[in-house]
């Protein structure tokens, strides 16, 4: 046989037999030699195959375990739930739903919601407006309790029955007039992703601490990379006119000492030189270190560019970590996470926007008991741990941050713990109550105008200040 090349199927059968333990390593070397493969080559092929097999070997939901205290007396009940957007989270959610049904006998119909939080709220408001009983439970954004409290079934008792202590700050956020609008499912904080390999290549020993440093480094990396990769970008983020831009722009503003949109006394804080300078700076990125199309990007658009290996930096939420580390990711092991940079001037500070999702039961549901049980299941420590390990979602139970399996999957949790455990900057949803969405819509619309050159910063920010003041007259 020597001299003729082995057919690929012969080789892959050999690898599969070795990995499954069907034949010994010694035997594989013998057969490989007979096929004309060197010991070094077959060793390398085995190492690669065992890496991808171990990733593929683990089906979505492999780390899920059922909490012990679930009710089994609701067998046969049927509920419909709206969970994450179509995308990489769906297989894990489906596995979780199946485990819940297998454990409780409650049938669950899962559907995806829109990626944009702004569109999702509009969809829910239609359902609530019609007092629709066809959706029993749904995930809700951390900024909505004041907007949708009147449609929620009180989940206080369900949360208590989980028997774990949740972050007090989030529980307070989710409590309106004494009732719990949603059980905290996962929390979120805006973070900066950076390519370690490119920082090394271009002689940067640390990720950028300020926006000015990020700009300089991004330019340098673009200059070096574009000749071999014309699609290469410096920095991708969320610039579309939707809630995600409110998060990004709040970070620019706060990090530059420019106020928090509305302060805790309901005073509007956008029309000031530091906020204007922060928006001007971001406008300068568009079509420079960032693609011109960034003003239409949401989270998954940014992640698409980043995970294809086409950007040096990305602002996003922690969910992109697990995706970036997937077996088939181009950037696996080449990146890390740090704080969002500081601006300039005396009041400059790090600002990472607080996000996160809760599980709510609709008060129009005809199965509030079964729906509450589902919310309880998803927010249980067991399920949160799996969500952190497989999908890098930030737990809402502080103890889970010390779990060794969770830390092994997410080493950056240890470093960013102070931010994740309470240091993130909240959007002004508590103080603006049911008017938050109007305030945020005015804000992201104005910022998007500035970014796309449809309005100059100073006058757009001036009108924004008075628009928000008008909205808040109804507070
Ligand atoms: C993330 C956050 C959420 C925020 C949204 C904006 O999903 O968890 O709070 O509103 O992004 O796009």
Strands 354-361 and 137-141: antiparallel
Q: Which of 112, 249, 317 to mutate to test the pocket of ligand 1 (most atoms within 8 A of CB)?
A: 317
Q: Which atom of ligand 1 is nearest to the CA of 187?
A: 8
Rounded to the nearest angstrom, the distance between the alpha carbon of 60 and the centre of ligand 1 is 23
User: With 70 as the cut, is the pLDDT of residue 28 above it?
Assistant: no
User: With 60 as the cut, is the pLDDT of residue 45 above it?
Assistant: no
The reply to whether 78-187+362-413 and 191-348+428-474 are identical in fold is yes
Question: What distance in Å separates the CA atoms of residue 187 and residue 189, rounded to the nearest whole number?
Answer: 7
pLDDT score for 32: 65
CATH 3.40.190.10 is held by the domain 191-348+428-474: yes
pLDDT score for 345: 86
pLDDT score for 3: 40
Give yes or no for a contact between 289 and 219, defined as CB atoms under 8 angstroms apart: yes
Q: Which atom of ligand 1 is nearest to the CA of 355?
A: 9
Rounded to the nearest angstrom, the distance between the alpha carbon of 240 and the centre of ligand 1 is 13
pLDDT score for 48: 45
Q: Where are the domains of the chain?
A: 8-54, 78-187+362-413, 191-348+428-474
HEC secondary structure over 370-414: HHHHHHHHHCCHHHHHHHHHHHCCECCCHHHHHCHHHHHHCCHHH
pLDDT score for 31: 73
Rounded to the nearest angstrom, the distance between the alpha carbon of 357 and the centre of ligand 1 is 8
pLDDT score for 165: 97
pLDDT score for 369: 98
Rounded to the nearest angstrom, the distance between the alpha carbon of 191 and the centre of ligand 1 is 12
The protein residue with its alpha carbon nearest to ligand 1, atom 12, reads 244
The protein residue with its alpha carbon nearest to ligand 1, atom 4, reads 355
Gyration radius (Cα) of the chain, Å: 25
Rounded to the nearest angstrom, the distance between the alpha carbon of 422 and the centre of ligand 1 is 16
The upper half-sphere exposure of residue 419, i.e. CA atoms within 13 Å in the direction of its Cβ, equals 26
Question: What distance in Å separates the CA atoms of residue 152 and residue 364, rounded to the nearest whole number?
Answer: 8
Rounded to the nearest angstrom, the distance between the alpha carbon of 54 and the centre of ligand 1 is 32
SS3 18: helix
Rounded to the nearest angstrom, the distance between the alpha carbon of 190 and the centre of ligand 1 is 9
pLDDT > 70 in the chain, percent: 89
pLDDT score for 34: 72
Please give the distance of CA 422 from its chain centroid, rounded to a whole number.
17
User: With 60 as the cut, is the pLDDT of residue 43 above it?
Assistant: no
Question: What distance in Å separates the CA atoms of residue 138 and residue 81, rounded to the nearest whole number?
Answer: 5
Give me the mean pLDDT over the 226-243 stretch. Answer: 98
User: With 50 as the cut, is the pLDDT of residue 260 above it?
Assistant: yes
pLDDT tier for residue 178 given thresholds of 50, 70 and 90: very high
Give me the mean pLDDT over the 398-403 stretch. Answer: 97
- Mean pLDDT computed over every residue of the chain: 92
Question: What distance in Å separates the CA atoms of residue 271 and residue 222, rounded to the nearest whole number?
Answer: 34
User: With 50 as the cut, is the pLDDT of residue 2 above it?
Assistant: no
Question: What distance in Å separates the CA atoms of residue 244 and residue 277, rounded to the nearest whole number?
Answer: 20
User: With 50 as the cut, is the pLDDT of residue 21 above it?
Assistant: no
Angle, in degrees to the nearest 10, between helices 243-255 and 436-451: 80
Give yes or no for a contact between 138 and 372, defined as CB atoms under 8 angstroms apart: no
**Pocket (CB within 6 angstroms of ligand 1):** 117, 141-143, 188, 243-244, 247, 299, 317, 355-357
- DSSP code of residue 454: S
Q: Which pTM was predicted?
A: 0.89
The upper half-sphere exposure of residue 33, i.e. CA atoms within 13 Å in the direction of its Cβ, equals 6
pLDDT score for 71: 96
Q: Which atom of ligand 1 is nearest to the CA of 299?
A: 12
With a CB cutoff of 8 Å and minimum separation 6, the contacts of 167 are 184, 187, 396, 397, 398, 421, 422
What is the CATH class of 78-187+362-413?
alpha beta
User: Left (φ > 0), alpha (ψ -120 to 50) or beta: where does 410 sit?
Assistant: beta
Question: What distance in Å separates the CA atoms of residue 451 and residue 448, rounded to the nearest whole number?
Answer: 5
Question: Mind listing the pLDDT tens digit for each residue in 323-334?
Answer: 999 999 999 999
User: With 80 as the cut, is the pLDDT of residue 344 above it?
Assistant: yes
Q: Which of 247, 299, 318, 320 to mutate to test the pocket of ligand 1 (most atoms within 8 A of CB)?
A: 247
pLDDT score for 6: 53
Select the more confidently predicted residue: 2 or 215. 215
Question: Mind listing the pLDDT tens digit for each residue in 359-378?
Answer: 999 999 999 999 999 999 99
pLDDT score for 55: 47
Question: What distance in Å separates the CA atoms of residue 195 and residue 335, rounded to the nearest whole number?
Answer: 4
Question: Mind listing the pLDDT tens digit for each residue in 425-462?
Answer: 999 999 999 999 999 999 999 999 999 999 999 999 99
Least confident of 21-25, 123-127, 268-272, 461-465: 21-25
């Amino acid at each position: 046989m020597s001299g003729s090349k082995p057919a690929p199927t012969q080789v892959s059968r050999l690898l599969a037999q070795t990995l499954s333990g069907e034949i010994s390593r010694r035997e594989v070397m013998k057969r490989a030699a007979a096929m004309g493969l060197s010991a070094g080559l077959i060793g390398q092929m085995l190492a690669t195959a065992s890496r991808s097999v171990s990733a593929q070997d683990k089906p979505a939901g492999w780390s899920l375990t059922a909490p012990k205290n679930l009710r089994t007396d609701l067998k046969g009940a049927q509920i419909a739930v709206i969970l994450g957007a179509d995308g990489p989270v769906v297989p894990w959610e489906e596995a979780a739903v199946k485990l819940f049904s297998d454990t409780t006998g409650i049938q669950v119909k899962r559907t995806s919601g829109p990626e944009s939080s702004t569109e999702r709220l509009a969809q829910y408001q239609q359902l609530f407006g019609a007092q629709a009983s066809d959706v029993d439970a749904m995930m809700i954004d951390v900024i909505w309790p004041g907007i949708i409290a009147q449609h929620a079934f009180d989940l206080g008792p369900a949360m208590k029955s989980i028997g774990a202590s949740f972050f007090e700050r989030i529980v307070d956020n989710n409590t309106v007039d004494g009732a719990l609008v949603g059980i905290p499912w996962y929390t979120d904080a805006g973070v900066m992703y950076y390519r370690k390999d490119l920082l090394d290549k271009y002689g940067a020993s640390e990720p950028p601490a300020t926006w000015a440093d990020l700009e300089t480094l991004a330019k340098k990396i673009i200059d070096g990379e574009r000749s071999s990769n014309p699609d290469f970008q410096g920095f991708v983020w969320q610039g579309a006119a939707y809630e995600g831009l409110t998060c990004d722009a709040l970070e620019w503003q706060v990090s530059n000492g420019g106020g928090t949109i509305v302060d805790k006394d309901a005073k509007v804080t956008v029309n000031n030189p530091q906020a204007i300078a922060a928006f001007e700076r971001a406008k300068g990125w568009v079509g420079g270190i960032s693609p011109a199309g960034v003003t239409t990007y949401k989270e998954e658009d940014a992640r698409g560019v980043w995970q294809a290996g086409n950007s040096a930096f990305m602002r996003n939420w922690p969910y992109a970590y697990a995706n970036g580390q997937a077996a088939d990711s181009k950037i696996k092991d080449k990146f890390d996470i740090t704080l969002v940079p500081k601006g300039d001037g005396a009041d400059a500070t790090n600002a990472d926007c607080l996000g996160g999702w809760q599980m709510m039961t609709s008060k129009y549901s005809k199965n509030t008991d079964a729906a509450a049980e589902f919310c309880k299941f998803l927010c249980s420590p067991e399920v949160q741990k799996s969500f952190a390990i497989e999908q890098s979602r930030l737990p809402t139970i502080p103890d889970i941050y010390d779990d060794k399996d969770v830390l092994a999957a997410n080493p950056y949790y240890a470093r960013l713990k102070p931010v994740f455990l309470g240091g993130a900057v909240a959007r002004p949803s508590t103080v603006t109550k049911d008017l938050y969405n109007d305030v945020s819509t005015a804000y992201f619309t104005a910022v998007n105008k500035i970014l796309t050159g449809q309005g100059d910063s100073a006058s757009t920010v001036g009108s924004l200040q008075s628009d928000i003041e008008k909205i808040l007259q109804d507070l």
